[in-house]
Structures are given as C-alpha cells and as structure tokens.
C-alpha cells in the first residue's frame, strides 16, 4: 500500500538519508510536524499518513508486517533506497517491524515512547467510546465534538489531538478497522536482532517503556540506546519538543551510517 505523504527538501544538503516520520494511533502526518520543522534544516523529510489514518487508503488489516510493507512501498514510490525511520508509539512499532522485512534499507532508527513488546492491555477503549459517541450523534462541528468527548472523560490534550482528524463531521481514521484490529496494534511479533545503533526515547512519566521491557528490547535491538525526557508523558515530542529534537540530532550526528 502506498501511503499519503508530505515531503520537504532539506534547507542545506548533508548527503544524509531522508528522514521518514511515522505517527501513532489516531494520528496523522501532522502529528510529528514539530520534528519535521526542526530536522528539515539538514534532512529531506517524508511525513506519512499510516493506513486507516488521514488520507491514506483503508484496509481491514492493521498489523505491523502490513504497516512495515506500507512504509517500504512508499519509499519505493518516492525512489528512496535507504532512509532514517522515526516513529512514535504505533509508528515506532511499524518502523521496528521494518527491520525484519528490509534491514538493509534502514539507515538509522528512532522509536519514541514504545517498546517492541505485546502490551496485552487496552488503553484506548475510552477514546473509542468518545469517538463513536460523536459519530452516533451526527455531530459536525469541532466545538460540539469536543463537548461530547469531555462528557466521556477525555483529557483536554487528548481531545485536541483527536480533533485534528475530525473534518467536516467525519473522522479521518477507520474506526471499525482500528477497533477490530486493536489486539494487533497493542501486540507484537518479535523481530530478529537488528544489529545497528538505535535510539529509544521515552517520557519519564509514561507507562509505555519501563525496566520490564529491557530484555525484550535488547534482544531485538542489541545496540539500542535509551534517552529519558523527564517530566513528559506518552506524547513526549509534543510536551517537550526541544529535548526530543536535541536527542535525535545527537544520535543522527554521532553515528556513522549503517551498512
């Protein structure tokens, strides 16, 4: 599947691999815009809408092998042989899954607040409930949608995040497919060891990555380096963008290109 993309050319060329930015569940290519704005000074940037999100095609299938193939199909469409992949949450799992399918096409890898594990927990049922309530009520305005989601107990930051994908009274994600495939989204199929330096960034207040995930993470990414952003939660790049950008830049500048 070829994904909907937004591409930007580096303001000054470093002969570096393009950077592909991959959003998480319920997101769109705009969600990592803060990283795109900072990194485009030195890197060509590709932002993608993942399948069943934004303006990309819809599918009943939503697992990480499929999402990884989507990323590679999109690189083919853009004529990109090798890229640096940066993904948040679901997007982080998608870029990690790509190391199994085409390890030679990944130059560097950054996973933001996610581990390569099967979480076996449902963190988004309240969000699904609020989204469905908006749809069932036939709401068309963002103001009314926000009011309905508040009644379902969603935090204001989550509401504003979701509203970015509420356009003309329609959600720009495939809610039935995401609900049906949710066990695959929180799940994980172990990948062979990708023996190149990888950066794992996590929010200090986030429950998504902790010491219990260490062994599984290092088994699959033995050269992984961790960077914790203090005082940030799961949306660490939105809450603390500058520390995240600095960590990514240090990683991209310090490591030689993988071979």
The tens digit of pLDDT for each residue in 122-178 reads 999 999 999 999 999 999 999 999 999 999 999 999 999 999 999 999 999 999 999
Catalytic residue among 89, 165, 206, 258: 89
Pair of tokens at residue 183: 């066990």
pLDDT at 13: 76
The per-type count for the chain, helices as H runs and strands as E runs, is 11, 9
- Confirm whether 234 is a catalytic residue: yes
- Confirm whether 4 is a catalytic residue: no
* pLDDT category of residue 16 using cuts at 50, 70 and 90: confident
pTM of whole model > 0.85?
A: yes
Report the CATH number of the 5-119+187-254 domain: 3.40.50.1820
pLDDT digits (tens, 9 = 90+) for 39-95: 999 999 999 999 999 999 999 999 999 999 999 999 999 999 999 999 999 999 999
**Closest listed residue to residue 53, CA positions, set 212, 171, 198:** 171
Helices (H), the chain: 33-39, 64-78, 90-101, 125-136, 142-151, 156-163, 175-180, 182-186, 214-220, 236-239, 241-254
Check if the beta carbon of residue 33 is closer than 8 Å to that of residue 24: no
Domain with CATH 3.40.50.1820 in the chain: 5-119+187-254
Catalytic residue among 88, 184, 227, 234: 234
């Amino acid at each position: 599947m070829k994904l909907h993309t937004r591409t930007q050319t580096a303001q000054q060329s470093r002969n570096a691999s393009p950077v592909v930015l991959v959003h998480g569940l319920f997101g769109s290519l705009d969600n990592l815009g803060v990283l795109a704005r900072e990194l485009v000074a030195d890197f060509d940037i590709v932002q993608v809408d993942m399948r069943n999100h934004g303006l990309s095609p819809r599918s009943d299938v939503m697992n990480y092998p499929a999402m990884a193939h989507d990323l590679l199909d999109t690189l083919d469409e853009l004529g990109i042989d090798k890229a640096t992949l940066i993904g948040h949450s679901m997007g982080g799992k998608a870029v990690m899954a790509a190391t199994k399918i085409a390890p030679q096409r990944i130059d560097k890898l950054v996973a933001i607040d996610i581990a390569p594990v099967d979480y076996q927990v449902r963190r988004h049922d309240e969000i699904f409930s609020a989204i469905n309530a908006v749809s069932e009520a036939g709401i068309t305005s963002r103001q009314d949608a926000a009011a309905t989601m508040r009644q379902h107990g969603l935090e204001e930051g989550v509401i504003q995040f979701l509203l970015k994908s509420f356009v003309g009274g329609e959600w720009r994600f495939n809610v039935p497919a995401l609900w049906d495939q949710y066990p695959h989204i929180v799940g994980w199929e172990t990948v062979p060891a990708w023996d190149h330096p990888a950066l794992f960034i996590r929010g200090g207040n986030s429950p998504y990555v902790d010491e219990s995930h260490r062994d599984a993470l290092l088994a699959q990414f033995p050269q992984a380096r961790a960077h914790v952003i203090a005082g940030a939660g799961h949306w660490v790049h939105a809450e603390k963008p500058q520390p995240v950008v600095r960590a990514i830049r240090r990683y991209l500048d310090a490591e030689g290109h993988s071979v």
